[in-house]
Structure 1
Amino acid sequence: MSRNLTAELTADLRSRIVEGAIRPGEKLPSENTLITEHGVSRTVVRAALTRLQAEGLVATERGRGSFALTPPSASTTAAPGTRAPVTLEDRLHLLEFRMGVESEAAALAAVNRTDRQLKAAEAALADFVDSGEHPAHAMKADYEFHRAVAAASGNPFFLDCLTSLGQTMIAMPRTRLITGQPHYSGDHFAQVVHEHRSVLAAVADGDGPAAAAAMRSHLANSRRRMRAPQE
């Protein structure tokens, strides 16, 4: 049986990142180094890096190389029986699903939220704003904001849905940078903060249609950022 060189190289690099041999923010070996170490072609190396990018484990910056990202921990994975997003296509499909679910949740939150639930959403947003230079923290805070909006809907099935999806439902754009640099890159992070604030403002004002529109716009923009070519 012939060896699948791309799969072997992908598995090796994946394990090194997940196990911490290559730490978050650390630069991966160059293409030439990987070619020499593994005895593979440049095509194989680039295919393996593409797979790791789709899994959210690697970010490649033109002219600088590829860097390891913070891998999701076991506590951030989807619930058993829930499809976990792995490929770019999976993440795009998940964002489409979330647009339908979370837009309605935001609309209901504007009508049903309590003062305590509004404060919880405000706290989650503040945590997100403060986490821009820490990718793992930012991912968790982003997730908690969306859960807070779902909880404020007054319908427990919305919260159950987001809880079952787990933190990996948060779609990191291809331009997400390494630890120690802005979470989405400067302009993108500021835009996401603005989008979250728009959702929260509509919920606070009790404007259901505006809250739904703001959430739909945010997730549609997330989908666009996910599809955007690397800069």
Structure 2
Amino acid sequence: MSTRLLINAGPIKKRGRTLSDEVVEQLTEKIQSGSLEVGKKLPTESEFVEAFGVSRSVIREAISQLQARGLVETRHGVGTFVREPTVKDVIFDRSTISPGTTQELAAVLEVRACLESEAAGLAAQRRTDEQLAELERILRALVKEDISRDISVDVDFQFHEQIAKSTHNSHFLDLLRQLGKHAIPRSRLAIFDQEKAMYQQRLNMEHEAIFNAIAAQDADAARAAMRMHIINSRQRMRSASK
């Protein structure tokens, strides 16, 4: 198997960031998704250069950033390996969030309101045209009337992930992923058929307001739209649980 197939990489295109940041993002996603398993030895520097189509200095900087984040470790004379996370690397312990507890989800949504409103504001300022196009693609998939609940949860989470990516600050994405899909209220709510259309319409309007603000590069409007969306989600969840 070729190195390019091994890491499923393609030539990097600079999109408003450094080339090393682009490499870091791709490798971080593969490590967090499990595509690059814990303990696995990474390709050599030369193989990375061939796979990504960048210079050795770019690869060295990217590996240095991954080391700083605790995602990989270099063993002298042996190579660089995907690192096993330690307790101190975990920002949130997911086991403390009970998916079936309304009170716990309400608390998580308070955190999301703070985290994601700022993420939306930064995304409005920093997003690239390519990232906006991807956000629009996800939005169009999300607003389909015939989308199933299971699929809608996945696509909803992708929408928020894409906004976090558009901040160009990987910590927003890391935090969101650690909260996980169970922090999406629609994954918990039992929506009756007669209520589904209205519920979906409200969510669509809120997501579109967030998208429009990011598209317009209006940071204040993006923050307000995201905060309102999460506050409304919290209220809808509480009303449904009564």
User: What interval of TM-score do these two structures reach, taking the shorter chain for normalisation?
Assistant: 0.5 to 0.7
CA distance in 1, matches of 2:146, 2:106: 23
Q: Are residue 165 (structure 1) and residue 165 (structure 2) matched?
A: no
Structure 2 letter corresponding to 1:195 = E
Write out aligned runs for 1:89-128 (5 A): 89-128=103-142
**Alignment partner of 2:226 out of 215, 219, 226:** 215
Structure 1 letter corresponding to 2:156 = D
CA distance in 1, matches of 2:222, 2:232: 15
Q: Which runs of 5+ in 2 are unaligned?
A: 1-90
* Structure 2 match to 1:6: none
**Alignment partner of 1:194 out of 178, 188, 205:** 205
Q: Which runs of 5+ in 1 are unaligned?
A: 1-78
**Alignment partner of 2:166 out of 116, 140, 152:** 152
**Cα drift, residue 175 of structure 1:** 5.3
TM-score (structure 1 length as normaliser): 0.60
CA distance in 2, matches of 1:95, 1:149: 17
Q: Are residue 185 (structure 1) and residue 196 (structure 2) matched?
A: yes
Structure 1 letter corresponding to 2:120 = A
Write out aligned runs for 1:129-148 (5 A): 129-130=143-144, 132-148=146-162
Identity of aligned residues (%): 34
Contact 1:106 1:211 in 2 (8 A): yes
CA distance in 2, matches of 1:202, 1:185: 26
RMSD of aligned residue pairs (Cα, Å):
2.5
* Structure 2 match to 1:203: 214
**Cα drift, residue 127 of structure 1:** 1.3
**Cα drift, residue 126 of structure 1:** 1.1
CA distance in 1, matches of 2:97, 2:145: 25
CA-to-aligned-CA distance 1:157-188 (integer Å, 9 cap, x gap): 0011111222111012875337xx58x71111
Contact 1:131 1:137 in 2 (8 A): no
CA-to-aligned-CA distance 1:84-129 (integer Å, 9 cap, x gap): 3420001100110000000000000000000111111111111111
Query: Stretches of 4+ moved more than 2 A in 1?
Result: 79-86, 172-178
Structure 1 letter corresponding to 2:117 = S
TM-score (structure 2 length as normaliser): 0.57
CA distance in 2, matches of 1:140, 1:115: 23
CA distance in 2, matches of 1:107, 1:218: 14
CA-to-aligned-CA distance 1:59-93 (integer Å, 9 cap, x gap): xxxxxxxxxxxxxxxxxxxx983233420001100
Contact 1:85 1:169 in 2 (8 A): no
Once structures 1 and 2 are overlaid, which stretch shifts more, 113-122 or 130-139? 130-139
Q: Please state whether the residue corresponding to 2:168 is helix, strand or coil.
A: coil
Contact 1:103 1:216 in 2 (8 A): yes
CA distance in 2, matches of 1:156, 1:213: 22
Q: Are residue 84 (structure 1) and residue 106 (structure 2) matched?
A: no
CA distance in 2, matches of 1:120, 1:133: 19
Number of matched pairs: 151
Contact 2:153 2:184 in 1 (8 A): yes
**Cα drift, residue 190 of structure 1:** 0.3
Contact 1:175 1:185 in 2 (8 A): no
